[in-house]
Structure 1
Amino acid sequence: MTKRTLIALLAAIAASALTAAVAVAATITGTDGRDRLVGSQLADTITAKDGDDKVSARRGDDKVFAGQGADRVFGNRGNDTLFGGRGADRIHGNLGDDSIDGGKADGGETVAANRLFGGPGNDTIRGDDGEDRIRGGIGNDNLTGEAGNDLMSGGQGDDNQNGSAGNDRIFANRGVDTTDGGAGDDDLWALARADVPLPGSDTLIGGEGNDTFHLRDGEPDKVDCGAGDDTALLDNQDVIADATAENPSGSCERVVRDAPKAKGQGESKSEDKEEKSKDDSAESERAV
């Protein structure tokens, strides 16, 4: 075999492999039944349609449209874009900088509660108008609850969280977080951890509604109570953003200062959910 023939043969093999790889990066469409759809190692587009489906996108920067039904979606590795659609969905971005949208129902329809998990990476997660549970995981995440009484936690990282309308419970965990409760009677927490090497000073904004702030984590956090009949439970490190010498409580109607809680106290509500999120991530790996 001549050198020229060998080069031509190798080129043909490479072209054949490339053609096969392009074919693997598929557009996958389910049925209106209960489907199990699995992507490839490349950038797939997967549409589950109606039914209670299970989707594992696998590797690649994938797009998944869950459609109607109570779906379970796992982005796995890659910077994925995941849409929930109508129904009570469980969506896991997993590893990568993912964009997750819980989806909205059409006008007049009942809105279900979604479970949305980002995983490691800088994720953008948006709920729908139901009572969503949203966790960012490790990374600098942007979380939006939309309407509904949502439970949100950014996890480890410098997160931005916005509850929007509804009576939300939002936890600022490890990192320098900014939390805006939005409209509604919100319950906002700033939680420090003993294993944080640097101070995590959070900013909590109440917005409209009768909000309660829990900031006794020993860090110099900032609170802006906003409109409504608000209660701020602070330690001596915390600062009220709009306080003055004449009005040290600022926009907060009730301010109670006390010593910081010992490390580990007051964290279980959020940290237990973090452990559950780890279990969910393990489940996603088994789903591949």
Structure 2
Amino acid sequence: MIGAADRRSRRAAVADVSSGRLLRTVRVGRGAGLPAIGDADTKLLVADRGDRTLSLAPVDARSRTRIRHLGARAPTAIAVQPGLAVKIGTAGPDLLLGTRGPDRLVGLGGDDDLRGGRDLDVLEGGEGNDRLDGGTGQDQLDGGPGNDRISGRDGSDRVLGGDGDDDVQTGQGDDRIDLGAGNDRADGGDGDDTTIGGPGNDQIVEHGLGNDTLLDGGEGDDVIVGNRGTDKLVGGPGDDQLDAGSGSDRIDAGPGADHVLTGTGDDRVDAGGEDDVVVGDIGANRISGGGGNDQVDGNSGNDAIDTSAGDDVVVGGPGRDAIDAGSGDDQVRVADQNTDTVDCGPGEDTVFVEDHAPTRDRLTRCEHVVPVPAEPGHDLGRPSNVIFGTAGDDVRIGTDGIDTIITGPGNDQIDGLAGDDYVDGEDGDDVVHGGPGNDDVHGRKDDDQASGDDGDDRVTGASGDDRVSGGPGNDVVIGSAGRDVISGDEGDDRIEAIDGEVDRVSCGPGNDSALLDLDDVLLDGSCERVVR
């Protein structure tokens, strides 16, 4: 709030700083004056007619800032200087809502719900299983101890998960995420992100665009999935699963029996010193197996493979490959209709070549040479079920397990079916359905239909005039840019439609909250709490 007092009429003006609106004038009396609380319920104002004093204080702080020597005329205008709105919770569960300006929300103890706004916010969950949503803007989000759910959305955010099993999702922007101890899950979204896992079995999945500086799982058996940019993936100690995605990536699996899947770019892989599995893809990969009994499949592309010590199995795959099997009793397969260079190294080694061209490959220190019919590349397995689309109009159906489905340009139809899926329509007028499970559903560009199903889903329409529905469950439904029709359906839903466009919103049955623009239209009275 901000205001001015008139000593003759004994009135003071009360205004909302966040919107710049004059809320009311209040009559003041002798002494400390009569108090008034604005509609935003954030500031308390008292005025004194005798010495023309106006006192302004945050409700939570129980202290006053006294302002003297105000003008003698009645207030006619408002001057606003944005500051940091501070709200502090209690030892129990709190709901703290920010403003359209910069906020600091502190939850303290209890299972708190902290929601920032459009500006640069600082959210601190404290102890408890908290839910933090920074909104748009470059936010600082600290979950503290407990199993927290943290959403950064747009803006370059800094996130601290703290101790506990946390779920972190950020959006567009160059984010830095430090998950801390616990079995955590993180998706940095679009932008050049840095994500560090810490002790625990973490899942770090980068589904968005961007060149991620570092995705580091830390200690524990981690699952790390890169995106379509140029990423650096570090597994750390533990038996990790790493999927580079597309782009020319660098992968350091670290200590442990790791499973590594390269992408469609030219990747560099250091698998570490134990019994690792490395599966290449199209692209010219450089793969180092280190010590241990490794299984390496270069697949398509002109690959350079060095497995070092151990009894290794190496498949060159289609392409002109250079293989150094190192010491140990190794098996090398290069029967792929290309000219390969193989140094079997010390040990009792066997190399398989094509029977109709047994002398085409350049072989060194290979004790046993076995001619066989030409072989295709041998996939040794993938750490997850990943389904991609094409440049056309695709129909992609998932499985009853955990799927990642990403299509491209074109008007696509996607159904994730059962399981906790990530479904992304990308460009085009898409119909995107998550299916039963706790899904992450994105329509992306153009005019999409995006929906969840049974489960606690996160559904985003993104740009375009979209129809977005959460389905049964406690969902987060986000319209983003465009004139959207948004439905929460059954469950305790959170609807976010702050985008400057006119959206049409229905919350559905349950205890729901909606964050809306002033001009958004409520289709019915099903939203229990509305913040504009």
TM-score normalized by the length of structure 2: 0.40
Alpha-carbon offset, residue 20 of structure 1: 5.2
Q: Look up the equivalent residue of 1:182 and give its one-letter code.
A: G
In structure 1, C-alpha distance between the alignment counterparts of 2:240 and 2:257, rounded to whole Å = 7
Alpha carbons of structure 1 residues 73 and 239: separation in structure 2 relative to 1, 3 Å: same
Q: Which residue of 1 aligns with 2:299?
A: 226
Kept after mapping to 2: 8 A contact 1:163/1:182: yes
Of 143, 153, 177, the residue aligned with 2:234 is 153
Q: How far apart, CA to CA, are the structure 1 residues paired with 2:307 and 2:331? A: 19
Cα shift at 1:123: 0.3
Structure 1 residue 115 and structure 2 residue 186: aligned?
no
Aligned twin of 1:208: 282
2:83 maps to 1:83: no
Equivalent residue in structure 2 for 1:166, among 247, 250, 262: 247
Partner in structure 2 of residue 142 of structure 1:
223
Cα distance in 2 for partners of 1:69, 1:146 equals 19
What secondary structure sits across from 2:256 in the alignment? coil
Partner residue in 1 for 2:121: 35
In structure 1, stretches of 5+ residues that fail to align are 1-18, 105-111, 193-199, 260-288
Task: Quote the residue 1:129 is aligned against.
Answer: 209
**Helix, strand or coil for the counterpart of 2:153?**
coil
CA distance in 1, matches of 2:146, 2:262: 35
Q: Note the C-alpha offset of 1:129.
A: 2.1
Q: 153, 164, 171: which one pairs with 1:67?
A: 153
- Aligned AA (1:219): G
Q: Is the contact between residue 236 and residue 258 of structure 1 (CA under 8 Å) also seen in structure 2? A: no
Equivalent runs, 1:178-189 vs 2, <5 Å: 178-189=259-270
Q: 1:38-87: per-residue Cα shift (whole Å, max 9, x none)?
A: 00211111110121111110011111110111110000011000001110
Contact 1:234 1:257 in 2 (8 A): no
**What residue number does 1:100 align with?**
186
Q: Which amino acid aligns with 2:200?
A: G
| Alpha-carbon contact 1:232-1:256 (below 8 Å) kept | no
Identity within the alignment, %: 32
Are 2:314 and 2:333, in contact at CA under 8 Å, matched by a contact in 1?
A: no
Q: Classify 1:211/1:60 alpha carbon distance in 2 versus 1 (closer, same or farther; 3 Å).
A: same
After TM superposition, give the deviation of residue 249 of structure 1 in Å. Answer: 3.4
Q: Give the secondary structure class of the aligned counterpart of 1:21.
A: coil
| Cα distance in 2 for residues equivalent to 1:162 and 1:210 | 16
Q: Which runs of 5 or more residues in structure 2 are unaligned?
A: 1-89, 95-109, 318-329, 347-532
**Partner SS for 2:92:** helix
Q: Quote the Cα distance in structure 2 between the aligned partners of 1:157 and 1:177.
A: 8
Give the CA RMSD over aligned residues: 2.5
Q: Structure 1 residue runs of 4+, over 4 Å off?
A: 243-247, 250-259
User: How has the CA–CA distance of structure 1 residues 185 and 69 changed in structure 2, closer, same or farther, with 3 Å as cutoff?
Assistant: same
Could you say which structure has the higher helix fraction?
Answer: 1
Structure 2 CA distance for partners of 1:27 and 1:91, relative to 1, 3 Å: same
Bigger Rg, structure 1 or 2: 2
Q: Which whole-Å CA distance do the structure 2 matches of 1:222 and 1:206 have between them?
A: 11
SS at match of 1:22: coil
The SS at the match of 1:204 is strand
Shift of 1:176: 0.4
Distance 1:172 1:231 in 2: 18
Amino acid aligned to 1:62: D
Relative to structure 1, the CA distance from residue 190 to residue 246 in structure 2 (aligned partners, 3 Å threshold; closer, same or farther) is closer
Kept after mapping to 1: 8 A contact 2:198/2:218: yes
Instruction: Supply the AA of the counterpart residue of 1:203.
Output: V
Higher RCO structure (Cα 8 Å, ≥6 apart): 1
- Structure number with higher strand proportion: 2
- Residue type of the alignment partner of 1:57: G
Tell me if the contact between 2:313 and 2:331 (Cα under 8 Å) persists in the aligned partners: no
Aligned residues: 226
* Maintained 8 Å contact 2:260/2:271: no
Partner of 1:12: none
